[in-house]
Amino acid sequence: MNKRTTSLISILLLVLFVGAFLAACGASQPPATASTGSQPAATTPDGQTLLQERCTVCHNLNRVTSAHKTADQWTTTVERMVGKGAQLDTQEQQTLIDYLAQTYP
């Protein structure tokens, strides 16, 4: 085995070792911030995050931020956007509608 091959193998082993180490760390971490309290369900992002992530796929946020609607009207709009293809489950729709109705009344 020449010197080059040997050093290649040590690099490979090092990478494998670091990878395994990181994986072990990740696995042993407690479920992230699950117990911080105020958030209702740890898996549901907040309204602002939902708006920025799910409502900017087809148009920018100007459409949203320049609108002023009641909770009922926001419900209709969000349902309409879901009909067009916005990716939101029922829980996320509710979170977003609450956020919109509060922020852009």
Applying CB under 6 A, which residues contact ligand HEC? 54-55, 57-59, 63-64, 67, 77-78, 81, 84-86, 88, 96
**CA–CA separation, 101 vs 80, rounded Å?**
16
Nearer to ligand HEC, 6 or 56 (CB): 56
Six token digits for residue 66: 């320049």
Six token digits for residue 101: 């109705």
Nearer to ligand HEC, 3 or 84 (CB): 84
**CA–CA separation, 81 vs 59, rounded Å?**
11
Instruction: Report the nearest approach of ligand HEC to the CB of residue 56 (Å).
Output: 8
